[in-house]
Every structure is written in structure tokens, then in C-alpha cells.
Amino acid sequence: MFNSESWSKLSEQAYGYKTEKFSYNGFDIFYSHVKNDIGEYLIAPSFGDFISVDKDNFESLDQFVESNSCAANGNPTAKIWDYNNFIELFEKLKNDCPQIPIIIIGDKGDHDMYINGISWPKYVVNTASKTDLGEMICLIRNARCVVAHDSGIMHIANALDVRLIALYGPTDYTWTKPMGENTEIIYSRNKAFACMYNEKIGERESYKKYPEFYAMSDISVDSVFEKIQNIL
């Protein structure tokens, strides 16, 4: 199994990405600074197993359901689920498990370019842009369940062995899918499925090629809700 440093060197050699290490309270993670036609953003290792984690250094918090409703630092991307689906999912969760808090996580780009423009239900706690990386990691670590797109947040949840529901559509799942024991993947298998396989097209190209949210439209709200119910 690769360790974080091996992944970093491989990433630098293969893609020219500049890698950095972040340390927080016994937690070490290597991430890459990417600059391309989409914009500038950070990515976590393609496989959560590459992250070195000391799980015993996190304090216990009340558990909650966590949603990563964005990706790619808020930049245009085909790999996100329709926000209306998230809202419908939150309503189902609120009715079924009213005692379980629902939290949205994300970075400043996610917040400024996407999340902030959506009218989320009042009972949803929106922490996007309000946490640093260490605080976000703590939120992920203590979540009862995380629902996420193919994103850095998804890979961190996978590395922390949190119960994760990963939503996949256009991206190359053969390279980026999480492989944790507590991870379940739901695929959107329409015409856009795995269109980014082997880098045939990039994120911006896939975003322009298909209508908004189409690439993830084959994932139903009920299919995600059912998996969350099995966890809760």
C-alpha cells in the first residue's frame, strides 16, 4: 500500500502537481495544489488509503449526517448532484430522523461560488467556509454518515473510515473511487457515465458537453436515503 509521501511523489511526477503536507493534532495529510482550466484548488489523494491518520487524537462530538453538496472548489463541474435532490433528501431525513442534525461542509470556494447562492432549509447547519482544514477534518471524523461527490472531502472521509456514501457519475471511478470498508458507492449510469475515463475529457469539457446536473441525474433521492437509513 502506498503511503502519503509515495502518493505525493507519484502525483508530482505524473501530473506536475505541487504537493504539500498539512499536520493537525496528530493527523498528517498530503494534498496537491492544482491549477488548470477549471481554476485553482486543492485535491486529496485519489485513494484514501494513501493518507496517514491517527484517529485517536479526535474528541468525541454529537453525531450528525454530513453533506458535501459541492466539488472542485465551487468551480463548474459535471460531477455534482442537483442541489434540489439534496434539499429533498434533507427533508426526508428531517421527517424520518428529526433528532439527527444535518450539516453542509465545504471550503470558501464552495461557499462563495455555489453553496451560498442556494436557499437551504433553515434546520440545515451550513459550515461551508466557516472552518479551516483541521476543523473540517474533525467534523468529518465525527459524522455518523457523510454523503459526498468525488472530491477531497470524500477521500478524507474514506481515509477516516467514516460511513461514507459516495456519489459517482462522469469521473474516472477506476482511478478515484474510495476503497474503504465503510464506503458505499452509488453510480449515475447514463450517457455521461465515466466520460472522464483515462482523461478522455476533462471536468470543464464534461461540464460543457452535458446539461447541468445531467451527469449525476441517474442517482435517485430514494437510493441515497435508503442507504442513509441503513446506517442510522
Question: Residues 79-117: pLDDT tens digits?
Answer: 999 999 999 999 999 999 888 889 998 888 888 888 888
Q: Which of 25, 60, 18, 58 minimizes the C-alpha distance to 40? A: 18
99 DSSP assignment: T
Q: Average pLDDT per run of 10 along the chain, which is 232 residues long?
A: 50 61 56 56 42 34 65 78 94 90 87 88 89 82 90 89 94 88 94 88 86 94 94 84
**pLDDT at site 187:** 96
C-alpha span between 32 and 17 (Å, rounded): 6
Report the pLDDT value the prediction gives residue 31, as an integer from 0 to 100. 62
Cell representation of residue 52:
496517514
* CATH number, domain 56-231: 3.40.50.2000
- Domains of the chain by residue range: 56-231
Backbone dihedral angles phi then psi of residue 123, each to the nearest 5 degrees: -80, -10
